[in-house]
Structure 1
């Protein structure tokens, strides 16, 4: 018996694959490699190169492998770019998910752990976000993630699907030197690329109502995130009651200024970040409580900020010499 990890060749998906294997659970990966890397998939793991919009391919995959559940990580994940490419975002995140759910129903696969996002909240009016915080997505990306949760809810009623959606905030770090975040839109790669190119990283605004004037956000280690996916899958396999959504966050957060200082200390590259103008709509502080996930999904912050930065930097350096 195995779990299918969609997007399992990507940064987050590849860590989830490793977490399942560490617990002795077989996995199958499907990925179109639009942002993933085939070398992130262990040689022992069956790899299907393909698109979730391809219903016949999904049917063949479910027929070929003994899949009992799906961790759905694949999708178009760039909130800012989604504003310029709404049709593509909806196709990749909504149409593809509906196609996947239809293939699951046809194959009798009735369990899903869904990679959702804090983007469903938009700009919260409270500094501590909970699962009950009103949803007000502000980009096509956030909208499609919320629609994905609705699809799961409706499919549970229609076909008895067992599921949960995990809402991530800012995922960083690395659980293995050969696995790294290669997104050009995420903070850590942006900082590292600037330093390696001889440029000075920039902070967008330093006059926020926070201790050091820079935005405070919730950063979590990707390996900690992966552990909770396995815990959710185990609950679904056991038929144990599970919440429809969980937030995965630290409860306190760190500032962009703290991250910059930690990067300088870990890398040994002394720099003072440039200060740019505020970005429109950036709130002072967004942090989530992970209490519900801690209760049910073995969620905890196992890594300090320095460990997050160091692991990410080591994986970036390993990529530079390979």
Structure 2
């Protein structure tokens, strides 16, 4: 196991009250695994990623009792300066949302590699250049042409691949990718997802892949966590979750995705609405909601080695 997130809670303290963005989230990540975390906008996915990266800033706060163990070390107990020097980018790197915009249009691509390396104490320019060339080849780019180019001379897909190559520069053990392909067309998405899978296979790097698109999660990952209103609703092996979703929210996400052969009139979008404050957060959008769902929040239940937060499985309490 490379990562264990334990009872993680993150809140934003606003003038009008506290917003609980992530609530008591617990999960493990195995070495070499690709884990997808999916859910609608506002489900807490990106806040979860920022918490692992210790990037939560005021008015946000990681609540007391939260634990994040990376290779057995509780990184939340580390001094922030030590975390940035010893862990961030060297051992855990990050591909952010709209990461194409992270590139500086006044710098050549190769200079981004030099700048990243120097900021983390690596000053051998020739070694960085050799590594950059290898990484650009790994993401299927011409290192000589792309390395000399400015970001504005590259397509969106090419810039995305440059960012992925940059995330691998210091040979990290874990990469967190937050909506890494959401701004790209479908064909380019598929191409880059294949590259990510190939990188995972060749290097053994662990990946947390955050997305709102369950079809992308189905393609890229071996395991899926479904989040809603800051909580884990369902967790399990990808194939099992896609074929037999246990939580009504997961089923709704799957049924909302059109396929080439599907009848558009038969697509069933999830009922509109907001997360409920009382009871199960999904109860006012759920077709299977019971009276207890409006009164109490369900715990996590263990069903055939899968986890689900739903009263439909009350006899299988973990």
Higher helix share: 1
Question: Which is higher, the Rg of structure 1 or of structure 2?
Answer: 2
| Same topology, TM > 0.5 | no
> TM-score, normalization: structure 1?
0.31
